[in-house]
Structure 1
Amino acid sequence: MFSKIGNLIFEHEAVARNSDFKMGLEIEMDRAYENGHLSMEPYPDTIGDAHSNPWITEDFLITMSEVVTPPADSPLDAMRYLYRINNALRNALAPGEILWSLSMPPIMPKEKSNELLADSTQEKRDFLIKLVKLHKGMAKFLPCGAHINLSIHDHIIKLIHSEMGDQFQSEQAVKDYLYMRLGQGFVRYRWIITYLFGASPIAEDNYFDVDQGPDHPVRCLRQTTRYGYGAKFLVDYTSIDKYITSIQNAVKNKLLIRDSEGQGPIRFRGGKDLDDLRNTGIQYLELRMLDLDPTSEIGIKTNTIRFLRLMASYFIMNPPLRQSEVNEALNRANQLNDEVASEDPSQFNHQFQARAFLSRLRLFVDQIQAGPDFEEVIQEMEERVEHPELTPSAKLVKHIKNGSLVEYAVKKGIQYQKSALIALRPFDGFDTSKQPTSDELKEYLFRKSFKY
């Protein structure tokens, strides 16, 4: 049964628009040597300055490159952006360098000095040094991942405001409500995303101190509370005001250095900081829980994005949690996510709940007649639920040799690097004093082949 908003979308034949999110992708990958060690090479000169290039930047480490796509009107366009910019980065690497295909970093130096930290600006470097000191080391911030930015189609916002003006006084009020529902939904079911896409079973040498890591492969080191991104506090997703207040209180209590650190698995974006977010409202949502997919040279696959789009559409059209139930439900969900992330990848103790959720999604696909692409995605995810050995982390475990995935990751990295180096038209437009705008980038990368 759809919610009131879901029925409105269905009756006004806006279901397709409800799945048609504007999308941006941010993919972090370490630069490494072909021997599996973290690269010591400087930021590639041919892709411009790390501070001025908005499309290829440094993240936590100098060697942690982040490819950022402009907002695209369709997921397919976003993937095409990502592929071409990723290709440009690979073509700029030094001889003997590769992009590391795993979320957990390559072999780190034994001594992790602050010289490893990104230095695009002095302000950023000072912040990172404080961050390392507060958290007693770098480990928490070393894993890479895939971030997905979703923006709800304007048609949906305008439709709900025009038909439910008594409930929503402005289009921005509609946005804030829908994005909060999406945030609650994704946090509530983050555990199934961790199960289906987790791909960080082990860490390489020098990541943990001696005897500090788990004694067996897990599903997703990056998402565990003990070893990964587990926060010292829980972000409040009840309302936009409580979301902002919970992060600001963490800063006041010195659990965080500044509010940009307290992002949680879902981040609401609007303006430069939380004060801007309070004034302007939520403009889009950022999903931050995905591991890199090592079987894709760009770190993510189309079916993964389809599944997340399907989840987002489902959360908008189906009844949300009651306001009084949100915190308790999301606290349970965080505990469940930690259990799933910490499991042996060959096991899954929550098949019943996963089957139930995927059954709901399959019913939703049938109700809205989403088409064969989404039917295919549901079938693939159902097979993963029934057969844990088909999940990414379980597949990676088979490639572990002597407690390491270096051989596998290097093989993948070299394979992807060779593919990029034979590209007929490698992009070299970043080697300028003025970096291209999104429109210029579109023209440079796709020329006449890109329809928009």
Structure 2
Amino acid sequence: MKKRIAALLDALAQDPKARTLLRFQRGIEKEALRIDPNGLLAQTAHPKTLGSPLTHASITTDYSEALLEFITPVSDSTEQTLQQLHNIHRYVYDQLGDELLWTASMPCALTADSDIPVAQYGSSNSARLKTVYRYGLGHRYGRRMQTIAGIHYNFSLPESFWPWLQSYTQNTQDVNDFRTERYLGLIRNFQRWSWLLVYLFGASPAVCSTFLKGRKDHGLEPTDAEHNSYHLPYATSLRMGGLGYNSDTQKSLQVCYNQLDTYVDTLRAAIVEPHPAYSDIPKILDGEYQQLSDCLLQIENEFYSPIRPKRVSRSGEPSLHALALGGIEYIEVRCIDLNPFLPTGIDAPQIRFLDLFLLYCLLKDSPQCTFEEQARLADNFSRVVTRGREPDLELSTPSERVSLKDWGLNIMTELEDFAATLDSLIEPGYSEALRIQRQKLLDPELTPSAQVSQRVQQGSFFSAALNQARNIKTEFLTQPLEESIRQRFEAEAAQSLKEQAAIEAADEISFEEFLRRFLDQYRLESLHPKHPD
């Protein structure tokens, strides 16, 4: 296998169009809570100067009115992506007044669950759909879980890459089918090795005590005599474990990434078949719908997974429908914590390592996965989430148990040729990014999770994170924002508000009818592909 990969990389390097074939297309979605000066969740509405969260292309909200989400345009430049993310932060900080952005993945000090404001998008049917979906999440999983923040890393290869790879592998499929199958292979390999990303980039080993209110079975240990913070001594990313985006209810879903149609079928069934546990949630409360449906999933976005196959959908079209019709267009990595020590939560070496890792997952052989293997992979992932920095921690392969360190170093060795190829074809920095991550395997104290643990044990999670939020705000505000960039953000905000108003004026049917038509799309025959006999 190593010789085949080396031959493929060599063929890429010798192709006259090599520099365009590996121009990775990236986009980052970064979440951050708005907080008041005392570190409590902001109760204020989304600032008007940031535009409409319904229609703004780069500044929106996620679950809560206080959970901002920053979105960079698709770009093939690492530095451009980071600069775009920096500019969004810089503009937003100017609009926050005395509020700050919480820089950690696990949330700030929280009061009652009902004090977490659900995001509002306006009075249109499409806006109400987004809000009602969030009400449903709150009823099903609690609003606290929805205040956890992270980074979603969207990744794809350029269109020109796929005919080249088809020719090299002598594949004769339709190019869309070929691309979909290779992305599914990437996802299967990602599941096999994503524990490495959690080890390297996990940054949520501790939580504020207020996050645990009402939970006595959390299994965490206090970090201080006053029990203001709790942690697991060797944890990497509690965000990706049982306290975070890991639903017990969804464990009944056996999602397979061997074929796209089985993936679509499984999620579609969960969206159209009622789930008894959710039938007791009131349909309407105080004049507002409380969930989109009483099914296991309201929509496909409710399925929590460290990685998702994706395709851009039309306005009003469920993304699962677009995926079923057109195949996989890009993948979304969802297991990346915010690094609280970085102003934008991510940096260039991390982006370059993600590129390396995802290309590795794409080009390596990817056998079809069984449910037995998925159970083993889930166990490996859970071990690293809760015990990743534990000395001599072992993980399971199909034939034996190996140490996390040794397995990780073996992967790093296999990535060396990838890094050298990208250094020469795309931009320097990939080998250096690999070196930085290798050091974390040799010394766990270099990981973000270890650095957070050190800060927490010197005080508390809350005080350490609040100090960091203040420091990063000061750092941003001391850097001037070019007037042309400011004017562009102001124009985009104003235009987004006009677009929201136009959408609201165009509604001609009731929300009840709008919701019925939207959910009916999941019942279309095209969302239920026929399996070959």
Per the normalisation by structure 1, the TM-score is 0.87
Is 2:423–2:429's contact at 8 Å kept on the other side of the alignment? Answer: no
User: What is the rounded CA distance, in whole Å, between the counterparts of 2:417 and 2:312 in structure 1?
Assistant: 37
Structure-2 residue corresponding to 1:98: 100
Structure-2 residue corresponding to 1:175: 179
Matched residue SS, 1:23: strand
Unpaired segments ≥5 residues, structure 2: 122-126, 222-230, 276-294, 314-318, 394-403, 498-533
Distance 1:394-1:285 versus aligned 2 partners, 3 A rule:
same
Q: How does 1:43-54 map to 2 (within 5 A)?
A: 43-54=46-57
User: What is the rounded CA distance, in whole Å, between the counterparts of 1:312 and 1:327 in structure 2?
Assistant: 23
Is 2:423–2:431's contact at 8 Å kept on the other side of the alignment? Answer: no
Structure-2 residue corresponding to 1:85: 88
User: What is the rounded CA distance, in whole Å, between the counterparts of 1:18 and 1:195 in structure 2?
Assistant: 30
Question: Which amino acid letter does the alignment assign opposite residue 308 of structure 2?
Answer: R
Distance 1:317-1:259 versus aligned 2 partners, 3 A rule:
closer
User: What is the rounded CA distance, in whole Å, between the counterparts of 1:367 and 1:60 in structure 2?
Assistant: 40
Q: How does 1:420-431 map to 2 (within 5 A)?
A: 420-422=476-478, 423-425=480-482, 427-431=486-490
Distance 1:156-1:385 versus aligned 2 partners, 3 A rule:
same
Deviations 1:228-269 (A, max 9, x none): 212423532112112212222333353322222115111111
Distance 1:316-1:3 versus aligned 2 partners, 3 A rule:
farther
Is 1:62–1:118's contact at 8 Å kept on the other side of the alignment? Answer: yes
Is 2:63–2:134's contact at 8 Å kept on the other side of the alignment? Answer: yes
> Quick check: 301-310 or 206-215, which moved more?
206-215
Matched residue SS, 2:429: helix
> Shift of residue 41 of structure 1?
2.2
Structure-2 residue corresponding to 1:112: 113
Deviations 1:203-237 (A, max 9, x none): 1132112534322433211111x212124235321
Say which of 415, 431, 434 aligns to 1:375. 431
Question: Which amino acid letter does the alignment assign opposite residue 196 of structure 1?
Answer: L
Question: Which amino acid letter does the alignment assign opposite residue 237 of structure 1?
Answer: Y
Is 2:41–2:110's contact at 8 Å kept on the other side of the alignment? Answer: yes
User: What is the rounded CA distance, in whole Å, between the counterparts of 2:100 and 2:107 in structure 1?
Assistant: 13
Say which of 282, 297, 305 aligns to 2:351. 305
Q: How does 1:21-420 map to 2 (within 5 A)?
A: 21-95=24-98, 97-109=99-111, 111-113=112-114, 116-120=117-121, 121-135=127-141, 137-162=142-167, 167-210=171-214, 211-213=216-218, 214-215=220-221, 216-217=231-232, 218-224=235-241, 226-231=242-247, 232-233=250-251, 234-251=254-271, 252=273, 254-272=295-313, 273-318=319-364, 320-323=365-368, 325=369, 327-343=371-387, 345=389, 347=391, 349=393, 350-365=404-419, 373-401=429-457, 404-420=460-476
Is 2:53–2:59's contact at 8 Å kept on the other side of the alignment? Answer: yes
Is 1:182–1:315's contact at 8 Å kept on the other side of the alignment? Answer: yes
Distance 1:140-1:245 versus aligned 2 partners, 3 A rule:
farther
> Shift of residue 142 of structure 1?
2.1
Structure-1 residue corresponding to 2:285: none
Distance 1:198-1:152 versus aligned 2 partners, 3 A rule:
same
User: What is the rounded CA distance, in whole Å, between the counterparts of 2:448 and 2:454 in structure 1?
Assistant: 10
Question: Which amino acid letter does the alignment assign opposite residue 223 of structure 1?
Answer: M
User: What is the rounded CA distance, in whole Å, between the counterparts of 1:28 and 1:42 in structure 2?
Assistant: 17
Deviations 1:291-317 (A, max 9, x none): 001111111111111111011222233
> Quick check: 287-296 or 253-262, which moved more?
253-262
Question: Which amino acid letter does the alignment assign opposite residue 125 of structure 1?
Answer: T
> Shift of residue 157 of structure 1?
1.1
User: What is the rounded CA distance, in whole Å, between the counterparts of 2:334 and 2:433 in structure 1?
Assistant: 21
Distance 1:3-1:108 versus aligned 2 partners, 3 A rule:
farther
User: What is the rounded CA distance, in whole Å, between the counterparts of 2:39 and 2:422 in structure 1?
Assistant: 47
Aligned length in residues: 429
Is 1:200–1:221's contact at 8 Å kept on the other side of the alignment? Answer: yes
Question: Which amino acid letter does the alignment assign opposite residue 340 of structure 1?
Answer: V
User: What is the rounded CA distance, in whole Å, between the counterparts of 1:348 and 1:104 in structure 2?
Assistant: 27
Per the normalisation by structure 2, the TM-score is 0.75
Is 1:147–1:287's contact at 8 Å kept on the other side of the alignment? Answer: yes
Is 1:8–1:160's contact at 8 Å kept on the other side of the alignment? Answer: no
User: What is the rounded CA distance, in whole Å, between the counterparts of 2:217 and 2:236 in structure 1?
Assistant: 17
Deviations 1:325-355 (A, max 9, x none): 4544343222101111011746461222222
Deviations 1:395-449 (A, max 9, x none): 111111587222222222222212322324262434443149xxxxxxxxxxxxx
Question: Which amino acid letter does the alignment assign opposite residue 444 of structure 2?
Answer: P
Deviations 1:266-295 (A, max 9, x none): 111114321111111111111111000111
Is 2:186–2:366's contact at 8 Å kept on the other side of the alignment? Answer: no
Is 1:24–1:78's contact at 8 Å kept on the other side of the alignment? Answer: yes
Is 1:18–1:313's contact at 8 Å kept on the other side of the alignment? Answer: no
Is 1:192–1:354's contact at 8 Å kept on the other side of the alignment? Answer: yes
Unpaired segments ≥5 residues, structure 1: 437-452
Question: Which amino acid letter does the alignment assign opposite residue 408 of structure 1?
Answer: A
User: What is the rounded CA distance, in whole Å, between the counterparts of 1:103 and 1:115 in structure 2?
Assistant: 16
> Shift of residue 8 of structure 1?
4.8
Structure-1 residue corresponding to 2:525: none
> Quick check: 21-30 or 168-177, which moved more?
168-177
User: What is the rounded CA distance, in whole Å, between the counterparts of 1:255 and 1:351 in structure 2?
Assistant: 38
Matched residue SS, 1:255: coil
> Shift of residue 145 of structure 1?
0.4
Percent pairwise identity? 25
User: What is the rounded CA distance, in whole Å, between the counterparts of 2:23 and 2:371 in structure 1?
Assistant: 29
User: What is the rounded CA distance, in whole Å, between the counterparts of 1:34 and 1:143 in structure 2?
Assistant: 19
**Structure of greater Rg:** 2
